Amino acid sequence: MTPNPSLDLTVEVDQLRRGHVLRAERSHLDPGGKGVNVSRALAAHGRKTTAVFFAAGAEGVRLTDLLDEQGVAVQRVPVSGVTRTNLTLAEPDGTVTKLNLPGPVCGETDGDAILDAVLAVCDASTEWIAGCGSLPPGAAADSYAKLVTRARAAGVQVAVDSSGPALWHCLSARPDVVKPNREELAECAGFTVPTLGAAVRAADELRARGARAVLASLGSDGAVLVDEHGAIHGEAAVDAARSSVGAGDALLAGFLAAGGGGRAALATALAWGAAATGLAGSRMPTPADVRRIDVMIHPAVDADRVLEEGR
């Protein structure tokens, strides 16, 4: 479920210089939005998935067409307005600058409609529902909390990848997994996360508020999984990072594809996430892109390890 999807236009430039006319090296358009990317990654690995999202205007039609081309099943929920287009400026050293637009305005009936659509596509084979990304303007802050409640009533596990009030509100509904990045983890826990130990403490805080498990992505420092069994830290080597856009979505997709819990799922998540960083724009990795040999799951969490600045 992606309430606020996008068309992602990625432009590759030699160097981003404010106030200058820049000539692009390359550009490409991808379907975007966190949940959309999760579905794209799963579909690329042959897993059955359906992307459920609000679609508005010609841009919503284009988004649907792009997903059809990638073999992703779609359930569109029409809304008025225009599906947003996000711009990514990518430099050769891996530096990425993103401009994200707000998206169409949604009302209460729209919120009910997308939840109905999500549950309508579930069947006996459904293992997970993933609610991902920002909420569009006008959407209720407890939208993901409602998703968790309805999913659990249907007997389906649910993962949430969001931030701010949307993440805070969903915790009390007890989602099976939440996947914040370092910044989102710190914001939700209420304190900074300079070390791996602080990341684990912040994840414990989210679990104390209701999350059953926390999969926190930490950029170049890998990811930490904190659940009822304790904390596990792992990381994956990346030869040449091209873009971090969508890497967290690929990480979550890999985690869910591998069962959504434990060391093996964390290792798969890291492999998929690392593969995504080696691809341009918001492309999702295929099996040919994934190198599991580069993944290391540490025997213990180094609580004193200082996390890389800005990640």
Active site (catalytic) residues: 249
Cα gap 248→154, rounded to integer Å: 27
Using the CB atoms, write b or e for 246-255: b if 16+ within 10 Å: bbbbbbbbbb
Cα gap 125→133, rounded to integer Å: 24
Nearest to 292 by CA among 237, 232, 219: 237
Is 160 in contact with 253 (CB distance < 8 Å)? Answer: no
At residue 222's C-alpha, the angle toward residues 220 and 226, to 5°, is: 145
Alpha helices in the chain (DSSP H): 34-44, 57-69, 108-120, 143-153, 164-171, 182-189, 196-208, 247-257, 263-277
For the record, the structure tokens of 277 come out as 């960083």
Cα gap 29→45, rounded to integer Å: 21
Could you tell me which residues come within 8 angstroms of residue 17 by beta carbon, excluding any fewer than 6 positions away?
Answer: none
**CA dihedral sign, ordered 271, 272, 277, 278:** positive
Is 51 in contact with 73 (CB distance < 8 Å)? Answer: yes
